[in-house]
A and B are shown apart, each in its own frame.
Chain A
Amino acid sequence: MRKELLLFVFCVTLCLTARGAGYTVSTLPDPKVDCADCYVSNPDGVLSASAVDYINSLSQSLKKTSDVEMAVVVIDAFDEYVYADAFSFCQDLFNTWGIGGAEHNTGVLVFMALQSRDVRIHTGGGMEGLLPDIKCDEILDYRSTYLSAGDYDEGISAICNDITNVLTTDEAQAELLLGYKPKSTEATKDLTIYLIAAILAFLLIYLFGYKKWNDKKNVNKQALINSTAPVQTASGCLTLFFPIPMLFFFLYFKRKRRNIRTEPVECEQCKSKMRRISSIDRFVYLNPKQRTETKIEAIDYDVWVCQTCGKVHTEPLEGRRYRDFSQCSVCGAMANKLTGTTILSNSTYTTHGKKKLTYTCQYCQSVTTSVITLPLLVRSSSSSSGSGSGSGRSGRGSSGGSWGGGSSFGGGAGRKF
């Protein structure tokens, strides 16, 4: 029993030591995650808090004056099974985090690993002119005496200070702020999507509207007018996005729909052309029921009168408020309006409720009622009372930031201290 326990303890320690062999780029904490103004990753506490604050202040001033990001990573060890040397760790870390402005790759990484005694200044692609390898090597050569003596606070701070000094001379500032090239936008892809959408919209309107108009079998004028109303609206709205084809459709439909209403109708008796009565005069020709329907805008009647035999023809069309009315079961007028609702019983989670709807006919004034069943209540899975709980985390998230997206081509210098 004791033997097995020992074996277990041995295995656990082995696992832990194997895991703790060093950081990889993915296990190394990113300082930007928690705070947008932090530039130092010091997970093993090698640097003191005051040194971290000092370096952060240097990085912040660099970031403010020019788009340079100076990141500092001080760790006990990197995972030597994954990375051959400090260079490959730095290179991977630099491009994974994206240190420095993306446009000019203005990033610098100062890296130190205690166990392998590595110190390195890794420069972004745009910094190789201001911080050539020789310059980096000089700085490291000069400051590594602190590191050899074990004064890491002073050593790293001094290295960061030297870098800041190099980058804040007038010439360096002028070079860093020199002409930002405007980024060329990928407009072609958006244009392709736009063109495809335009073709689809064109096809849809063509199939639903244009084709229907020109279909000779479709002789029912009334149905035609009613069914093409939404197409006209749709093409009108789409004009905003695709002006050229849609404006044509919109105007075409508008004209057609107006023309078809005013197009002379043939008299059924004498086959001569009939005359359309203007909207004010037509009331004389309508019966009281039709008058009411016209007044409440449920149905719009077009009235035609034959000039030769005097026959009157009325053509009912959907009025502006057609959808607000239903047909009265007593007089048959399209004038039944919803005038009241009463809830007879509320729905519960298990039984349906009932609601009474009252309709009043605007023509014959007869009142009809109908009872409908209400849907069951549904238990909502999340209680709305706890809505405040999520805000804490998002508040924390918003204070975080990210690196600028710069990349390195492998510049810089490193040495053992």
Chain B
Amino acid sequence: MKKNTLIWVVVIAAIALIAVWMVGRYNVMVTEEENVETAWGQVENQYQRRTDLVNQLVGATEGMAIYETQYMTDVISARAKATQITVDPSNITPEQLQQFQAAQGELSQALGRLLVSVEQYPELKGDQHFMKLMTEIEGSENRLAVARNTFNEQARVYNTYIRKFPNNIIAGMFGFDKRPYFEAEEGAKKAPTVDFKSLKH
């Protein structure tokens, strides 16, 4: 009788300990997942902010000489493409993220070319409103870089946590999935691309 009670107490205590331990791990996962989501929210905010700024920019330049150029046409078409792609934050696949990033990256590049071309249009350099918008867009690009880095950092922390043993068991039980990363496009954009095929000739 007494021995039975002891066994029961030990079993219940062991179950309680395991439960407490699992609850702890589970809660850390929820927190980390929430951090990834928050970081993604920041990324979306910053993209939205840039889209708004581009809309203003397009409005401000209507009727000006630059509006008719290829630079502006590129920006407008890239914006249209970028706004079409929306991503569900709780369910991002690497392919979706890559698509999203490609579309947004195209807009970045179009804006970059526009920024450089401004030198050719003295009337624009004198336009206060336009120059302010360009400063804002530049700041927006900076913030985007930071937001993407933060997202990657959070996603890395979360992915590492859920993939470690024995956390992966709990993650599997409750459906915590690995999150994709942003590819490093900044560095790739800066390095000059050399076409080796053309060099051979």
B102-142 vs A, CB cutoff 8 Å, 1 = contact: the mask equals 00000000000000000000000000000010011011001
Query: Are B143 and A413 in contact, with the CB atoms below 8 A?
Result: no
- Is A259's beta carbon under 8 Å from chain B? no
A199 touches B17 (CB 8 A): yes
Say yes or no: is B23 at the interface (Cβ < 8 Å to chain A).
yes
A91: which B residues are within 8 A, CB to CB? Answer: 142, 146
How distant is the Cα of A196 from the Cα of B20 in the complex, in angstroms?
Answer: 8
A409:B13 contact, CB within 8 angstroms = no
Instruction: Report A-chain residues with C-beta under 8 Å of the C-beta of B136.
Output: 133-134
A192-B20, A199-B13 in contact; A409/B143 too (CB < 8 A)?
A: yes
Q: Cβ of B23 and Cβ of A192 under 8 Å apart?
A: yes
Chain B residues with CB below 8 A from A137, complex form: 132, 135
Task: Report chain B residues within 8 Å CB of A189.
Answer: 24
Residues on A with beta carbons closer than 8 Å to the beta carbon of B76: none
The contact string, 1 if C-beta is below 8 Å from chain B, for chain A 73-117, is 000000000001001100100000000000000000000000000
- Structural contact, A211 and B6, CB atoms closer than 8 A: yes
- Binary B-proximity of A207-250 (CB < 8 A = 1, otherwise 0): 00001001100000000000000000000000000000000000
Q: Are A410 and B145 in contact (CB under 8 A)?
A: yes
Whether A411 contacts B139 by the Cβ 8 Å rule is yes
Of the residues B9, B27, B142, B187, contact of A188 by C-beta under 8 Å: B27
Secondary structure dominating the interface of B: helix
Instruction: Kindly list chain B residues whose C-beta atoms are within 8 Å of the C-beta of A87.
Output: 142
The reply on A408 being an interface residue by CB < 8 A is: yes
How far apart are the CA atoms of A202 and B9 in the complex, in Å? Answer: 10
Q: Does A412 contact B (CB under 8 A)?
A: yes
Is B147 at the interface (CB under 8 A from chain A)?
Answer: yes
Residues of chain A with a CB closer than 8 A to B190's CB: 84
B42 CB–A CB distance under 8 Å: yes
Q: Let me know if A195 and B20 touch, CB within 8 A.
A: yes
B17 touches A410 (CB 8 A): no
B7 smallest CB distance to A (angstroms)? 12
Which one of A134, A196, A199, A203 contacts B135 once the chains associate, using CB atoms below 8 Å?
Answer: A134
Does B95 lie at the interface of the complex (its beta carbon under 8 Å from any beta carbon of A)? no
B17 adjacent to A196 (CB under 8 Å): yes
Which B residues are in CB contact (< 8 Å) with A192?
20, 23-24
Give min CB distance, A402 to chain B, whole Å. Answer: 22
A133, B139: Cβ atoms closer than 8 Å: yes
Chain A residues within an 8 Å CB radius of B186: 84
Which of chain B's residues 179-201 have a Cβ closer than 8 Å to chain A? 186-187, 190
- Interfacial chain B residues near A88, Cβ < 8 Å: 145
Distance in Å: Cβ of B111 to nearest Cβ of chain A: 15
* Nearest opposing residue in chain B for A415, CB measure: B135
Given contacts A91-B146, A410-B147, contact A206 B9 (CB under 8 A): yes
Neighbouring A residues of B138 by C-beta, 8 Å: 133, 413
Chain B residues whose C-beta falls within 8 Å of the C-beta of A133 in the assembled complex: 135-136, 138-139
User: Are the C-beta atoms of B146 and A410 separated by less than 8 Å?
Assistant: yes
Contact with B along A401-417 (1 / 0, CB 8 A): 00000001111110000
B60 located at the interface, meaning its Cβ lies under 8 Å from any Cβ of chain A in the complex: no
Closest to A134 in B: B132
18 further A-B pairs in the complex, CB-CB below 8 A; given A203-B9, A214-B2: A84-B187, A84-B190, A88-B145, A133-B135, A137-B135, A188-B24, A189-B24, A196-B17, A199-B17, A206-B9, A211-B2, A408-B146, A409-B143, A409-B150, A410-B142, A412-B139, A413-B135, A413-B139
The 7 A-B pairs of least Cβ separation, nearest first, read: A410-B146, A133-B139, A410-B143, A410-B142, A137-B135, A134-B132, A192-B24
A-B contact pairs, 14 of them (CB 8 A): A88-B145, A134-B135, A189-B24, A192-B24, A195-B20, A199-B13, A214-B2, A408-B146, A409-B146, A410-B139, A410-B142, A410-B144, A413-B138, A413-B139
| Contacts from A to B (Cβ < 8 Å) | 84, 87-88, 91, 133-134, 137, 188-189, 192, 195-196, 199, 202-203, 206, 211, 214-215, 408-413
